[in-house]
């Protein structure tokens, strides 16, 4: 589903964020991406959602080489990749419902269908009763669950998360991880960047470890 082949990412100031990254993630697979901060986790995720372009090599998602996607087509590609951010990036000037509805509105869905889909997504993350509240009225863990609802409301085949539990205590973090596992069980390909080894090791999923822009372990399946 996600395939990196000899990917390099250099910045114009000479900084080499990634060198020679090769790995693949099967359809319906779930994996963690670990490594110290600065190891290149975020850069790798940005390449998958076309926030950055590769300097060399190819990244393909669903068999499509991302280098071939022109700038104008990026929005349509992003609708198939759900993303959860560490700081969840919710909009505080609107309700929980409107936050989750945003991707559906963007894709031009009819208002009545939006209602159904948003409530289904909020139900999945256990926040159905809070749809009318503002994100500011929620706890950190709840805000992150809204972020997850927004990422999956479009039913994307791929779900990415960048340190989704970075600001949460262990108990809340475990709950969040359970949510990701549930989405993976219904066939979503999930890739989560996290440095919280204590949290991810007991889960027995594949772990890809990055160090200084290279894969240290976990490039191969199993």
Partner 1 sequence: MADSPKSSGAKPTENKNAFKHYLEHHQKVAKSTLIQLSQHALTTSFTCFVIGIALVLPVLLSVLLANLEDINKNWDGSPQITLLLKKGLPSLDAGVLAGKILEKQSVNSSLFIDNEQALADFKTRFEFTDAIEFLDENPLPHAIIVRLNPEISSLSAIEQLRDSLVTLPEVDSAILDAAWVQRLQSITRLVERAVWIIATMLSLTVVLVLGNTIRLAIENRKEEIIVVKLVGGTDPFVRRPFLYMGVFLGLGASIVAWCLIQWVIYILNEPIQALSLSYQFEFSLSGLTFLSTLFLLIFGLSLGWLSAWLAVRRHLDEIEPS
**Which residues of the shown chain bind partner 1 in the complex (CB under 8 A)?**
1, 46, 49, 51, 61-64, 69, 72-73, 75-81, 83, 89, 91, 93, 102-103, 105-111, 150, 154-155, 157-158
Residue of 87, 222, 78, 88 lying closest to 158 (CA atoms)? 78
Residues 6 and 182: beta-carbon distance below 8 Å:
no
Q: Using the minimum distance from each CB to partner 1, give the nearer residue, 158 or 179.
A: 158
Q: How many CA atoms lie within 13 A of 192 on its CB side?
A: 32
CB of 74 to partner 1, least distance (A): 8
Residues 137 and 164: beta-carbon distance below 8 Å:
no
Angle between helices 111-124 and 96-106 (to 10 degrees): 130
Q: Using the minimum distance from each CB to partner 1, give the nearer residue, 86 or 215.
A: 86
CB of 62 to partner 1, least distance (A): 4
CB of 170 to partner 1, least distance (A): 28
Cα–Cα distance, 48 to 78 (Å, whole number): 9
Residues 32 and 192: beta-carbon distance below 8 Å:
yes
CB of 209 to partner 1, least distance (A): 25
Q: Using the minimum distance from each CB to partner 1, give the nearer residue, 7 or 200.
A: 7
DSSP string, 91-113: -TTS-HHHHHHHHHHHTT--HHH
Q: Using the minimum distance from each CB to partner 1, give the nearer residue, 1 or 219.
A: 1
210: which strand partners?
215
Buried-exposed string 23-55: b where 16+ CB fall within 10 A, e elsewhere: bebeeebbbbbbbeeebbbbbbbbbbbbebebb
Q: Using the minimum distance from each CB to partner 1, give the nearer residue, 31 or 215.
A: 31
CB of 78 to partner 1, least distance (A): 4
Q: Using the minimum distance from each CB to partner 1, give the nearer residue, 5 or 20.
A: 5
CB of 130 to partner 1, least distance (A): 19
């Amino acid at each position: 589903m996600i395939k990196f082949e000899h990917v390099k990412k250099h910045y114009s100031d000479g900084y080499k964020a990634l060198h020679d990254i090769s790995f693949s993630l099967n359809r319906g697979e779930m994996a963690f991406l670990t490594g110290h901060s600065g190891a290149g986790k975020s850069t790798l995720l940005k390449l998958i959602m076309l926030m950055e372009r590769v300097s060399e090599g190819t990244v393909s998602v669903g068999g499509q080489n991302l280098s071939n996607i022109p700038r104008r087509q990026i929005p349509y590609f992003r609708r198939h990749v759900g993303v959860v951010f560490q700081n969840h990036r919710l909009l505080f000037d609107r309700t929980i419902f409107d936050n989750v509805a945003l991707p559906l509105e963007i894709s031009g869905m009819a208002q009545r269908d939006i209602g159904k889909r948003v409530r289904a997504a909020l139900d999945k993350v256990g926040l159905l009763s809070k749809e009318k509240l503002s994100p500011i009225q929620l706890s950190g863990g709840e805000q992150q669950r809204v972020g997850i609802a927004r990422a999956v409301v479009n039913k994307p085949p791929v779900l990415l998360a960048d340190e989704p539990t970075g600001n949460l205590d262990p108990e809340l973090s475990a709950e969040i991880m359970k949510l990701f596992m549930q989405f993976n069980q219904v066939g979503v390909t999930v890739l989560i960047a996290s440095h919280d080894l204590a949290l991810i090791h007991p889960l027995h999923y594949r772990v890809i470890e990055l160090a200084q822009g290279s894969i240290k372990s976990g490039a191969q399946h199993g």
